[in-house]
Amino acid sequence: MQQDILINWSPQETRVAVVEHGAVQELQVERTLERGLVGNVYLGKVVRVLPGMQSAFIDIGLERAAFLHVADLMSSINSRHAETDAQAAGQAMTSLLPIEKQLFEGQALMVQVLKDPIGTKGARLTAQVSIAGRLLVFLPQDNHIGVSQKYHRGSVKNCASVCRFWPGI
C-alpha cells in the first residue's frame, strides 16, 4: 500500500494530508490564530494547594498558573471508578482523599489542558491524560485498551497484540 504524507506550511496555517493510492484519506488544517492550548500535555509543578477549594494551582510555563480540581486528579478518578464498582457490588462508598493529602507544593505532575485561559483566569487542567488518534485513544495512566468501532474486525486482534508490547498495559 502506497501512502504519502504531504505537508504545506505557511505562517498563517499548516496543512497535512495523508494520500493513499492517489486519493486523499485525511486532511488536517491548523490555523495559527485558532491554535489553543486544549489537549496539550505538560509536566507541571504544584505552586499552591488550596484545601478550602479542594484545588491546586499548577505552573505549566504560562503567564498565569493553571487550575486543577481534586476531581480531575488520577487518584480521584480511580477512586470514583472503585466507588462505582463498590455500588454495583452493594458495598459502601469511600470518600475521596482531600487534595492536601494527594498533592504538595513543588511536586511534579503530568497534566493536560481541558480549557484555555480566559482573561484573568488560568487554564483548567486534568491529570487524566488522553491522546486521541483516528482509531485509538491512548490513556498512559490507565491499564485499559480501547478500540474504535470503526476499526475493522480482523484488525482489532492485530491492534491488541501490538498494544501488549507497551509497558504497563
Q: How far is CA 131 from CA 21, 53, 75, 106, 163, in A?
A: 28, 29, 19, 26, 15
| Rg of the chain taking only CA atoms, in angstroms | 20
Residue 138: the pLDDT is: 79
Q: Which of 79, 154, 156 is nearest to 146 (CA)?
A: 156
C-beta atoms surrounding 87 within 10 Å: 11
- 41-126 CATH choice from 3.40.190.10, 3.30.470.20, 3.40.50.620, 2.40.50.140: 2.40.50.140
Contact present, 114 and 126 (Cβ < 8 Å): yes
> Could you list the pLDDT tens digit for every one of the 169 residues in the chain?
788 999 999 988 899 999 998 899 888 888 877 677 888 899 999 999 999 999 999 999 888 899 999 888 876 555 545 555 555 544 444 457 888 888 989 999 999 999 888 888 888 999 988 887 777 777 887 776 666 666 665 555 566 665 665 555 5
- Counting beta carbons within 10 angstroms of the beta carbon of residue 161, is it exposed (0 to 12), middle (13 to 18) or buried (19 or more)? exposed
Classified as helix, coil or strand, 67 is strand
Residue 83: the pLDDT is: 52
pTM: 0.65
Residue 108: the pLDDT is: 93
- Counting beta carbons within 10 angstroms of the beta carbon of residue 122, is it exposed (0 to 12), middle (13 to 18) or buried (19 or more)? buried
Q: How far is CA 130 from CA 11, 106, 126, 141, 146, in A?
A: 29, 24, 10, 9, 11
Q: How far is CA 10 from CA 5, 24, 31, 40, 71, in A?
A: 17, 20, 9, 22, 40
Q: Kindly list the domain boundaries of the chain, sorted by start residue.
A: 1-35, 41-126, 130-169
Residue 92: the pLDDT is: 42
Residue 5: the pLDDT is: 93
Residue 32: the pLDDT is: 76
